[in-house]
Amino acid sequence: MKVLAINGSHRTGRSTSKLLQMALDDFAAQGWDTELIELADKHIEYCIGCNSCLRDKPCPLLSREGDQMQEVLDAIMESDAVIVGNPNYFENVTARMKTFIDRTCPQSHMEINPLAGRVAGIVCTTGLSNCGIDVTAAVLQRFCNACGWITGYSWTVATCESGVDENGEVTYRRSADLDPQAQASLHNLTGSMMNLAQKLH
């Protein structure tokens, strides 16, 4: 079986990427094949709302020189499980993630959805715990629902915020992936996803 992680962060190899790799390591330890796609390394054109997909025509952007959306779609189709990861950007996903989400419309919004049936999980990172990360995670949850992906224990949220010092000032970790609660939650997430996938297959 294979699991795919998709990172919507603009910065590769940082907190969100590290947490996604931790998740993939859990799967690999159980014999799964794994793949990490950094959207920052892909060129994906913006959806232009032409509605060709609503008229049973292929998305014209897929044939545009340099567009790499088909590579991501192929990776999803080859996978049994998908984890989407994203940092909190003003109570929402990044522009890269939103562009990717928009471009799944020809698949996820059709009567026959080829993306459906996969197990999914969500990983989010943020600086502070009270700055809208729940909204970001909810956006990704709605995306998973639209794709027909099955989520059980679905969210892991990691923060840089580590507490408050004796002066009442917020203290921070060097990186959100060092959040111990998030690491424990991540193992619960991956375990839940693997159990669900095995029951479905």
Q: Tens of pLDDT along 90-105?
A: 889 999 999 999 999 8
Provide the token pair at 28. Answer: 């690999």
What is the distance, to the nearest Å, from the Cα of residue 183 to the centroid of all Cα atoms in its chain? 16
pLDDT single digits (tens) 121-133:
999 998 877 777 8
124/52 Cα distance (integer angstroms):
33
Residue 35 forms beta bridges with which residues?
4
How many domains in the chain?
A: 1
Which residues are CB-contacts of 51 (< 8 A; sequence separation ≥ 6)? none
Share of the chain above pLDDT 70, in %: 97
Q: For the chain, give the number of residues.
A: 201
Least reliable range by pLDDT among 31-40, 69-78, 104-113: 104-113
pLDDT category of residue 164 using cuts at 50, 70 and 90: confident
Q: Which residues touch 83 (CB under 8 Å, ≥6 apart)?
A: 3, 4, 5, 6, 20, 23, 24, 120, 121, 122, 123, 189, 193
Let me know: does 103 contact 59? Beta carbons within 8 Å. yes
Tell me the CATH number at 53: 3.40.50.360
Could you report how far apart the first and last alpha carbons of the chain are, in Å?
Answer: 10
Q: Report residue 52: phi and psi, to 5°.
A: -60, -35
Please tell me the pTM assigned to this model: 0.91
Kindly report the three-state secondary structure assignment for every residue of 162-185: EEECCCCCEEECCCHHHCHHHHHH
Half-sphere exposure in the Cβ direction for 162 (13 Å, CA): 11
Strands (E), 62-134: 81-87, 119-126
Per-residue exposure over 163-178, b if at least 16 CB sit within 10 Å of its own CB, e if not: eeeeeeeeeebeebbb
Residue 157 is given by DSSP the state E
pLDDT at 24 over 90: yes
- The SS3 assignment for 174 reads coil
Q: Do 109 and 153 meet the contact criterion of CB atoms below 8 Å apart?
A: no
pLDDT band at 108 (very low <50, low <70, confident <90, very high): low
Range of the domain at 180: 2-200
Cα dihedral sign for 178, 184, 189, 194? positive
